[in-house]
Structure formats: C-alpha cells, structure tokens
Structure 1
Amino acid sequence: MNRPSPRTVRRLIGLAVLVLWEAVPRLGILPELFVPPLTKTLVVLWSDRLIYLSGLMVTLYEVAFAMLIACGAGIALGAVVGGVAVVRNLMLPVVSSLYAIPIVILYPIFTAWFGIGSESKIAFAGVYGFFPVMLSTAAGIRTIDEQYLLAARSMGATLPQLIARVIIPAAIPTVLAGLRLGGALTIIGVVVSEMLTSASGIGYLVTINRTILDSPRVFAAIIVVLLLSIMFDVAVRAIERRTLAWQNAGRRVASTEDVRAARLPAPATA
C-alpha cells in the first residue's frame, strides 16, 4: 500500500483543523468566547473587510520598511562578519549574546526614542528580524570553500565579480533560510508592537476587539496575519526554487575519495 504524499498529508491536516475549528464551538466543547466557529469568523471578516483592509495596509507599510532594515542591514553586516575574520571574532559572540535576549522587552525604549507612531514599530520589528538574517548570512559566507575563491582570484576576478559569481551563489541558500525566519519575526514584531501601542493596523484591531470580548473579530484579524505570513513564506519558497541550482555552489563538500579514505582503517604503526 502506497503511503500518501507529504502534500496530501498537509492538506488533510489543514482540512481537519478547519473542521475542528467549526465543530468544536458548535458542539459546545469550547465556549464561543474562546474559539468562535470558523463560519462566523469568516462572515465577520467579509462584513468588515474594509476595516481589515485598511488595517492591513498600515501593517504592510510597517512590515515593508522593517524588512528593509532586517534584510538589508542583516545581509550587509552578516557578509562582513562572515568574510572578515577579525570582525567575526569580535562581533559574533556579541551578536549571538544579544540574540538570546528577548527583544520585546526593549520595545519601551523604542517608543521613548521614536514615539508611538509607525517609526517605533518599524525600528523594533527591523531589529527583531535582523539577528537571524545576519547570523545566517555570516554562516553562509563561512561555508564557502576557499579553493573556489582562490581559483576565481587566480583567473583575475574583481571584487564585484567575486561577490556576484561565487559568494552570492554559495551563500544565498543559507541567507534565504535566515530570511524566512527573520521575515516571520519581522511580521510578528510589527503586529505585537501594534497591539501594545497603536491606533491602527491589524495588531490594533486585535487589541480593540479583545478588550470588548469580540472573539470573531479577534480571530478574523488573526486570519489576516496568518495569510500575510503564508504569502511571505510562499514568496521565499519561490525564490528558493529559482536558486535551487546554487544549493551546493561553492560549498565545502566531501569528495568520493575523502569518503572512501574516511572509511578505510588507519594504517598500523610500528
């Protein structure tokens, strides 16, 4: 008997979640205050679509600029840290330690510096997503085989050519993995900051409806956030498929001779 494909299993799990979402509150297993039925949530989302669309535009604006900070600064600094040994030895332990700190506790500092407008949310979310992008970029740069760099230099490659033809193809798979995590954290950072201090955005809609115990509208906002995260993940996966040929470009991989040598017993010594 053939096993179902992973895609089929994922679809069945998603369908089961949707069915349970509708059935559990309808059957009274959980109160609708905790989990409203899916159909009621979708009806509210459609009836208030203009309100949610307006909030989504604000959130998208903040996410876009926060992504520029997280991805731009993260990739740039990660390339420096991964490519320059002196900077790596100096900065990597510091950045790794900062990444372990819950960044959300620093949000009051951002509001003190930038106010309660979009600027504080963009800065906070940008920093929130910066660290995984930066660390993944640094790790990707470090996996490049130095022999490829030496061969490119010996053929007269300039620095721009070295970056475009060797470093980027070799590092981009790891960078995209960090970008997926950093982008998700950026979206989370924007929504959380909107929930804390804001008068617009999807996070604000979650907070304002939560205070009046309007669960269907809270879950409608959550659906919007989920759709935004799914769209971002689909976009990153599309880029990964286009760069599939670069997955092993310029990386340190063991050759067949190395593997065979590793399996052979060590020669006896006198």
Structure 2
Amino acid sequence: MRWPSPASVRWTILALLLVGWELFPRTGIIPELFLPSLSKTLTVLWSDRAEYISALGVTVYEVAFAMLIACGFGILFGSLIGGLAVLRDLLLPVFSSLYAVPIVILYPIFTAWFGIGSESKIAFAGIYGFFPVMLSTAAGIRTIEPHYLLAARSMGATIPQQITRVIIPASIPTVLAGLRLGGALTIIGVVVSEMLTSSAGIGYLVTRYRTILDSPRVFAAILMILVLSVAFDLIARAIEKRTLVWQTAGRKQRIVTETGSTVPAAA
C-alpha cells in the first residue's frame, strides 16, 4: 500500500479546514458571531481592502525594523557569548533567565519610554524576538569543532574575522532555527502591541472590530496576519535552502578508489 505524500496530506488538511470554515457557520453548527463563513470574511476583506492594505503596510513596516533588531543584535550577541568563554559563563545564565520572563508584562515600560507610536512596538517586538535568536546562535556556536577556531587563530584571524568567517557559517543550521522562531515571535510581538495600544496596524483592526462584535472584519484581519506569517515562513525556507547549498558545497570532496578513478564523496 502506497502512502500519500506529505504535500498531499497538507493540502488535503488545508482544503478540509477551508470547507469546514464555510459549512459550519452556514449550517448553524457554529454561530456566525463566533466564526463567520469564509465567503463572508473574504467579501468583507475585498470590500474594505484599502483599509486592510494600509493597516498591513504599517504592520510590515514595524515587523521589518523589529526583525532587524531581533536578528541583527541576536546574532551579534549570540556570537560573542557563544564564542567567548568569559562572556558565556557570565551572561548566558542571565539571558536564559530573562527569556523565561513573559516579556509582554514589560510592554507598559516600553510605552512609557517610547510612547504609543511605532517606536514602542518596534522596540518591544525586537526584544521579544531577540532572545531566541541570541540563545540559538550561542548554542550553535558551542557545537563548533574547536580545531576550526584553532586553525583560524593560528592563521592570525581577528575576533571579528573568526565570528564572520568561521563561527557564523559553521553554526548556520542552529542560527536559522533561531531566526525562524525569533521572526515568528517578532510578528506576534508587533500584533499584540498593536492590539494593546495603537491607532493603526492589523492588530489595531482586530481590537477595533472586536469591541463592536464585527466578526467578519475581525477574521479578515486575522487572515491578513496569517498571510504575513506564511510569507515570512516561505522567505525563511528559501534562505534555508540557499544556505544548505553553501554548507554542503564546502564538504564535498573527491576520493580516489582502488582502481585509480575518482568519485564524489558523500556530504
């Protein structure tokens, strides 16, 4: 018996979810106040598309800058902490403990420092996504073979050169896993902060229409958030595929067989 491919299973599950989303509200199994039908949600999304596109632009702007903070500083600090034993012993327990604290409880502090505009959302979401990126980078660096760094030092490589040419390339799989998690948390951080205090963005639309019990428009905003999350995941997967080629290219070498011919070695 031949089992269906994973892609077929995923598309089947997605189709069943969409059909159920349309049928359950229409048949009265789920009240439309709790779950409007898919067709009604899409109709509202199309009729108010200008409003939703404008709100999505605000959210994408805030997410982009927050990811620069989360990923940029996360990789930098993770490389330093993971690569230097002194910093690792001193700071890694501190950052691990801070990661366990629900960052959302600190959002009022960000609003007090930066106001209720985009700056507080960017700072909050950037810190929210910073910790998984930093901790994953530090963990990946600790798995690097010591002789790589020893060879780099013996050739006179400076610390910045060791970080950019040895540490980060060797820890790419773990770093990418942290980037995917950190990026997802950054999107969550922006949307949550927009729901709490904002006058623009997709999160603001969710809160605005929720207060007046306009379920179709709430779910239309949720659809936009899903589209943004799926787009980020596709970009992350594309980057992962490109870096996978980079990783394996350097490992391939040719070996000489007993007959004197050469064959590519396994990666």
TM-score between the two structures when normalised by the length of structure 2: 0.90
What is aligned with 2:47?
47
| Partner SS for 2:3 | coil
5 Å matches for 1:39-118? Answer: 39-118=39-118
**2:12 equivalent to 1:12:** yes
Flag structure 2 segments of 5+ consecutive residues without an equivalent.
Answer: 252-267
Matched AA of 1:36: P
| Partner SS for 2:96 | helix
Aligned residues: 251
Flag structure 1 segments of 5+ consecutive residues without an equivalent.
Answer: 252-270
| Partner SS for 1:29 | coil
Two-structure CA RMSD over aligned residues (Å): 1.8
Q: 1:63–1:190: 8 Å Cα contact kept in structure 2?
A: yes
Counterpart Cα distance in 2 of 1:207 and 1:68: 27
Q: 2:81–2:92: 8 Å Cα contact kept in structure 1?
A: yes
Q: 2:66–2:126: 8 Å Cα contact kept in structure 1?
A: yes
Could you report, residue by residue, the CA deviation over 1:167-221 in whole angstroms, capped at 9, with x for unpaired residues? 2221121111001000010001001100010001000100110011000000000
Percent identical across equivalent pairs? 76
Matched AA of 1:138: A
* More displaced stretch, 164-173 vs 14-23: 164-173
Q: 1:145–1:250: 8 Å Cα contact kept in structure 2?
A: no
> How far did residue 30 of structure 1 move?
0.7
TM-score between the two structures when normalised by the length of structure 1: 0.89
Matched AA of 1:210: R
Counterpart Cα distance in 1 of 2:167 and 2:137: 11
Counterpart Cα distance in 1 of 2:164 and 2:108: 40
What is aligned with 1:168?
168
* More displaced stretch, 94-103 vs 168-177: 168-177
Q: Which runs of 4+ in 1 moved over 4 A?
A: 155-161, 246-251
What is aligned with 1:212?
212
Could you report, residue by residue, the CA deviation over 1:65-110 in whole angstroms, capped at 9, with x for unpaired residues? 1111111111111111100111111111111111011111111111
Distance 1:94 1:156, change over 3 A: closer
> How far did residue 130 of structure 1 move?
0.5
Matched AA of 1:136: S
